[in-house]
Amino acid sequence: MSVRLVVQGQVEPLPQSRTTKLLDAAGGITDLLLVVSRFYVGEPSGPLADDCSETQFLHYPVSAYLADPQPSPEEDIEMELCDGHRLQYDRGLLAQAPRKSYRGVMFCQTSDGGDGFSPAIAGRVLVRAVLHHHGHACGIGAGTSDLDLTRDPEYDKHFVGLYHGGVSRNVAAFGQRTHQERNGWYGENRLAVLFDMEKGIMQCYEGLQPFGQEVKIGSDGEFWPAVVLCKIEDSASVAVSYM
């Protein structure tokens, strides 16, 4: 859920700022409209759907990703309790899967369990994630309706988002790495992906810091939040918020 303020007579919400006083940002106008927005997240669908459960976890607040200037790594930012889902590549799947076998979920199922898709990502949507444990490659981001949830997301032309490549951390889009750094994510890593469908771009984050450059994904495509894991005991939590 996102809460924004709009000045009377204007359309765009006030910019988020950690330094400007509210009265100054509103130009002295005291008549403000409180706008509450919520992004509908589809039900999980895919090989790990049965191993996906509702959860709560701590992450940086949405407002921190909108702040101007953006918080520095040294700032003490109060964490926010997120409502989301936790994926667990359960050991019970070991008999069904080889030692390394990609399995994931996409949050695209309608609540009635029908054959249609839930609403795709629209406007500005932030996917926040905590990568609890991984044994090899994994992807956190979004995919089109053709995303293969049993394939390495790095090579899938229908995946966009953060990608861990075993010993490297990356941004992947449409089957290519657009950004790569050595060493992986280990421990309780807080990650995020911002989708701005109005501009047709994606921006990944490590913590609160941009990871790589903005990636053009187009404003005409339809994407749904998705996570792909690889090995037994891999685990991640994700929450999707409208900005």
Per residue in 73-115, pLDDT (tens digit) is: 657 788 999 999 999 987 665 555 555 689 999 999 887 666 7
Answer left, alpha or beta for residue 197, where phi above 0 means left and psi between -120 and 50 means alpha.
Answer: alpha
pLDDT given at position 135: 78
Q: Are 84 and 55 in contact (CB under 8 A)?
A: yes
C-alpha span between 193 and 176 (Å, rounded): 17
- Report how far apart, in Å, the C-alpha atoms of 183 and of each of 165, 166, 168, 170, 180 are: 9, 9, 5, 10, 10
Q: What type of residue is 187?
A: G
Q: Which regions of the chain carry the CATH code 2.60.120.920?
A: 40-242
C-alpha span between 92 and 90 (Å, rounded): 5
Phi, psi dihedral angles at 154 (to 5 degrees): -60, -35
Taking the CB of residue 28, how many other CB atoms lie within 10 A of it?
8
pLDDT given at position 93: 55
Asked if residue 15 has pLDDT above 90, the reply is: no
Domain 40-242 adopts which CATH fold?
Answer: Jelly Rolls (2.60.120)
Q: Are 192 and 128 in contact (CB under 8 A)?
A: yes
Q: What type of residue is 174?
A: F
Asked if residue 117 has pLDDT above 90, the reply is: no
Q: 126-147: per-residue pLDDT in tens?
A: 999 999 988 788 999 999 999 9
What would the two tokens of residue 151 be? 């394939």
Q: How far is CA 167 from the centre of its chain?
A: 22
Q: 188-243: per-residue pLDDT in tens?
A: 889 999 999 999 999 999 999 999 999 999 999 999 999 999 888 899 999 999 88
Residue with tokens 């609540």: 111
C-alpha span between 95 and 76 (Å, rounded): 45
Residue with tokens 């101007």: 68
Phi, psi dihedral angles at 174 (to 5 degrees): 55, 40
